[in-house]
Amino acid sequence: MGSDGEKLGPNSNNERAPSGRVMPPNTFAGIEALVTGLCDEWRILQRKREWFVGAVCSLYYFGSFPAISYGGQYVIPFLDEYGVSLSVLFIVTCEMVAVCWFYGIDRFSNDVKTMLGFYPGIYWRICWMMCPVFISVSQHKSDKITFQAIFVMTVWQASLSPMKLLDYTFPKWSVGFGWFLRMLSVTSVPLFAIYMLSFAKGTFIEVSYILANHYYLNKKSSRTQELSGLSFQSGF
């Protein structure tokens, strides 16, 4: 109990969040990106956007209860370890490879010039093409920062033993559940690629050749123009 007779939460202090702050900007941006992407994919959600936004915010609200309860001190580190670190690194690496290597760094630089009015410098182009793949930074418990040469080294160092938090050791089943959370994010990349390829016009060899040789898209043959858009016939 506090000095005024009020109960204290899991954090034993009387600090209060600013009353005017309803939602952090990063949370607002994340929800807006999710809602916009789904509404663009399924038009029926666009017509009911207000209800859809309310449903998403309600899901965020009730889903945050475990994190703000007394067990949140265990939930948040667990999600930070298994739901973010390795999964985000893998997805960002795939995104960088897809944009800079398959789409093409030259075409991407032209897009940047269209938006900003100037080409990105050679420094940025090298960083976009090389650094995320060959260099990854890890910080150990001893606060010693090391540079790992290959992305695979990051995967290799992923622990298969239960997490430890102060004097508490997580149960053994938490390892399997944690890797399940990781794979939910990681496998979405190849599964979505397979799904999109299965609905692309042309044979598998033709589509694969276009994806692997982006300069082929600039040729003016009628067959290339038909395939270059990779028109996907989805059932949605």
DSSP string for residues in 33-98: HHHHHHHHH-HHHHHTHHHHHHHHHHHHHHHTHHHHSTTHHHHHHHHHIIIIIHHHHHHHHHHHHI
With contact defined as beta carbons under 8 Å apart, do 197 and 204 qualify?
Answer: yes
125 and 101 in a common domain: yes
Same domain, 158 and 172: yes
Query: Is there a contact between 126 and 222 (Cβ–Cβ < 8 Å)?
Result: no
Residue 80, token pair as written in the block = 């930070």
Distances, alpha carbon 140 to alpha carbons 132, 145, 204, 205, in Å: 19, 7, 44, 45
The pTM of the full predicted model, rounded to 2 decimals, is: 0.57
Which of 127, 96, 106 lies closest to 189 in space, CA to CA?
96
Residues 40 and 119 in one domain: no
Residue 39 CB partners (closer than 8 Å, separation 6+): 45, 46, 49, 52
> Within this chain, do residues 35 and 94 fall inside the same structural domain, yes or no?
no
Assigned domain for 225 exists: no
Residue 81 lies in a domain: yes
Among 110, 108, 221, 128, smallest CA distance to 210 is for 221
- The answer as to whether 236 is a domain residue is no
Q: Quick: pLDDT tens for 67-114.
A: 888 888 888 888 887 877 777 777 877 888 888 887 888 888 888 889
Q: Based on the structure, what is the number of domains in the chain?
A: 2
Residues 35 and 55 in one domain: yes
Give the residue numbers spanning the domain of 61. Answer: 25-68
Low-confidence ranges of the chain (pLDDT < 70): 1-26, 131-159, 208-236
